[in-house]
Amino acid sequence: MKKILIIAAVLATACHVHAQGQFAFTTLGASTGLIYIDTVGGAKANGYSVDYAYSMTANVTDPALLTSAPVAQVKTINASGIFIGTVQNFGGPTPTAGLPTAGATTISLQIRAWFSGTGDTTYASAVADPLGDRYGSTLPFNLSLGDPTASPPGSATPIKNAFPSFAAVVNTPEPSTIALGMMGAAALLFRRRK
């Protein structure tokens, strides 16, 4: 009986280690999940960069708790407002480079887009850029991953139509920040005149 329990524990561990979930990082053929500039339904975000952030735990609502995808997974949005990426493997014997080796069945996911024409190669750098570049993202949402090890094998879960369309907008400073800056500049000029 002891041997049977040990064998069962080893098999369960092996199955857990090789558990694999995957999704297709593309919006090809989507009717929702398109990315626009300034307003949804306006101009498509042609040439903008897009990536994702994830958590191996479902129901995460705070974007600060998400992990950015590997930089190699950044894609470019085409003139139709869609992007074409690759299958992202979480866990299993062949995880996507830079992703966790432990598998999951449902993850929290956030799609993020930004204007990269000024040299911003990541979403974080676009958000921190003082030039006021456009960027935007979805709220985190749950995504059930496809299981290629199932019998019969499942396919990668498509993200197209899994999230609403959104717009990349200019990060405009608060009016109080602008007023404070102007008052500081005026004080410097006034002091210099004395």
- Each residue's pLDDT tens digit, 115-166: 988 888 889 988 888 776 889 999 999 988 887 666 665 677 888 878 888 9
Q: Report the chain's mean pLDDT, rounded to a whole number.
A: 79
Please report the pLDDT score of residue 136 as a whole number.
92
Residue 100 lies in a domain: yes
Residue 7 lies in a domain: no
The distance from CA 3 to its chain's CA centroid, rounded to whole angstroms, is 45
User: Residue 190 contacts by C-beta under 8 Å, 6 or more apart in sequence?
Assistant: none
Q: Cis check for the bond before 152: say yes or no (omega within 30 of 0).
A: yes
Task: For residue 175, give its domain range.
Answer: 20-189
Residue 8 lies in a domain: no
Examine the pLDDT at 1 and tell me if it is beyond 70.
no
What is the average per-residue pLDDT within 47-60? 92
Residue 5 lies in a domain: no
Residue 145 lies in a domain: yes
Please state the domain count of the chain.
1
Examine the pLDDT at 16 and tell me if it is beyond 60.
no
pLDDT in tens, 87-98: 888 876 677 888
Residue 143 lies in a domain: yes
48 against 104, higher pLDDT: 48
Residue 168 lies in a domain: yes
Residue 6 lies in a domain: no
Give the separation between CA 114 and CA 137, rounded to whole angstroms: 9
